[in-house]
Amino acid sequence: MITSILFAVAGPMSVPQDLKAYSEKLPKSTIEIKMVPIPGGKVKVGEKTVDVAPFYMATTETPWEVFDQYLLSGEPSKPYDQTVFGPDVIARPSYSYILPDLGWGHEGYPVINVTSTTVEMFFRWLRTTTKKKYRLPTEAEWQWACQAGVDGELKLSSEELDKSAWHKGNSAGMTHPVGEKAANKLGLFDILGNVGEWATDADGKPVLCGGDFLLEAEKQNSTLRRRYQPNWQETDPQLPKSRWWLADAPFAGFRIVCEK
């Protein structure tokens, strides 16, 4: 793994003394999630300046081996079940008709083709299993961590981007194992490129942040946002479409955050 400092620092961004990097070891497995501290600060999201409290973020996009622990933790849902879940229910995806990983790779590769519902359930499971406040980042947290102290939208030169991000020009049309490119100043890999990352907006609604392996280099930036579109499931042949899997969104993944 290559770790280097690539981002110019526009202002101070120091980690509070009481936050230290740690690894979350999942029960009954050897799998660990590496978490690094992210300092608090202010970030401009759209037209609004948002205060961000210190938090922890996973160094990588979530790989399949972590997600599989959730998938295998109990019975899957029935196909096309549209039960309205209570706030404490932990449900698992129904079995998919397709391979959600598209056969591109499993161990070490980022989770893809997941809906925001699936990710929410993953976090309910993770919180219950670890007794810690794991969740998706807010979009403000995500952007703040992505910019890593840079004031305003983060844009990298093509050379810098090639060192740190998988994008249309270098990905050969597929995702790549997490953590192969250079991390940012905070130790975050693939924060631009590889897969977009689910977050929650100020209204608590899901939003996909950042660029991915299919997007051109010039579109990779910290302010890119996407919302679910029906064509993310166009080739799901069923109705209702799956609430768990996106048949046509190999760019949709996520990263783990933990509250302090």
Q: Which residues bind another protein (CB under 8 A)?
A: 68, 72, 74-76, 79-80, 82, 95-99, 101-104, 106, 172-173, 234-240
d(CA 183, CA 30): 24
Rank residues 30 and 82 by Cβ distance to another protein and give the closer one. Answer: 82
Rank residues 37 and 177 by Cβ distance to another protein and give the closer one. Answer: 177
Rank residues 62 and 222 by Cβ distance to another protein and give the closer one. Answer: 62
Rank residues 1 and 172 by Cβ distance to another protein and give the closer one. Answer: 172
- Going by DSSP bridges, is the β-strand pair 257-259/55-58 parallel, antiparallel, or unpaired? antiparallel
Residue 112 beta carbon to another protein: minimum distance, rounded to whole angstroms:
11
d(CA 116, CA 120): 6
Number of H helices, E strands in the chain: 4, 11
Interhelix angle 64-71/116-130, rounded to 10 degrees, is 80
- List Cβ neighbours of 170 (8 Å cut-off, separation of 6 or more): 162
Residue 102 beta carbon to another protein: minimum distance, rounded to whole angstroms:
4
Residue 229 beta carbon to another protein: minimum distance, rounded to whole angstroms:
14
Rank residues 15 and 98 by Cβ distance to another protein and give the closer one. Answer: 98
From residue 50, alpha-carbon distances to 44, 201, 229, 236, 253 in Å are: 6, 11, 27, 38, 24
Residue 67 beta carbon to another protein: minimum distance, rounded to whole angstroms:
13
The answer to whether 186 and 36 are in contact (CB under 8 A) is yes
Residue 170 beta carbon to another protein: minimum distance, rounded to whole angstroms:
12
